[in-house]
Chain A
Amino acid sequence: MKKKERPGGLAGLAILNLFRKPATQTAQFGLGGIQKGYRGRLLYDPATCINCVMCMRDCPTGAITIENRGTKEQKDMHAYLDVGRCVFCCQCVDTCPKKCLSCSSDVLLAAFSQDDLKIEL
Chain B
Amino acid sequence: MIASILKVLLFPGLLFLGVYSFVLEFVDRKVYARMQNRKGPPWYQPLADMLKLVGKKVILPNNAQKFVFAALPTVSLTAVVTAFLCAPVWGMQAVTAYEGDLVAVLYLLSIPTLCHFLAGYNSHEVYSTIGAFRTLTQMFAYEVPLFMAFLSPAILAGSWSITGIAAFYAARPLYVLINLPAFLIALLTSQSKLERAPFDAPEAETEIVGGALVEYSGRYLAYFRATAVSELTVMASVIAGVFLPFFTGNGAVDFALYLVKTFAVVLVMVLLRATMARIRIDQTLKFFWSVLTPVAIAQMILNLLLRGGLGL
Contacts and interface: CB of A to CB of B under 8 A. Distances in A.
A11 interface: yes
Nearest to A9: B275
B127 to A, nearest CB: 29
B248 interface: no
A17 B35 contact: yes
A23 interface: yes
B276 A7 contact: yes
A14 B38 contact: no
Contacts of B274: 10-11, 14
A23 B39 CA distance: 7
Contact of B271 (A11, A22, A24): A11
A17 B36 contact: yes
B35 A14 contact: yes
Contacts of A18: 31, 34-35
Nearest to A25: B39
Interface string A1-33: 000000111110011011010111010000000
B35 A20 contact: no
Interface string B97-121: 0000000000000000000000000
Given A11-B274, A22-B40, 4 more contacts: A10-B275, A17-B35, A22-B33, A26-B39
Interface residues of A, number: 14
Contact of A15 (B33, B39, B271, B272): B271
Contacts of B34: 17-18, 22
A8 B38 contact: no
Interface string B258-287: 000000000000011011100000000000
A8 B275 contact: yes
B interface bracket (residues with beta carbon within 8 Å of A): 10 to 19
B38 A24 contact: yes
29 contacts: A7-B275, A7-B276, A8-B271, A8-B272, A8-B275, A8-B276, A9-B275, A10-B275, A11-B271, A11-B275, A14-B35, A14-B271, A14-B275, A15-B271, A17-B34, A17-B35, A17-B36, A17-B37, A18-B34, A20-B37, A22-B33, A22-B34, A22-B37, A22-B38, A23-B38, A24-B37, A24-B38, A24-B39, A26-B39
Contacts of B271: 8, 11, 14-15
Interface string B31-62: 10111111110000000000000000000000
Nearest to B198: A7
A20 B35 CA distance: 9
Of residues B33, B39, B272, which shows the largest number of chain A Cβ atoms within 10 Å of its Cβ? B39
A18 B271 CA distance: 11
A55 B93 CA distance: 82
A22 B35 contact: no
Contacts of A9: 275
Contacts of A8: 271-272, 275-276
A7 B199 CA distance: 14
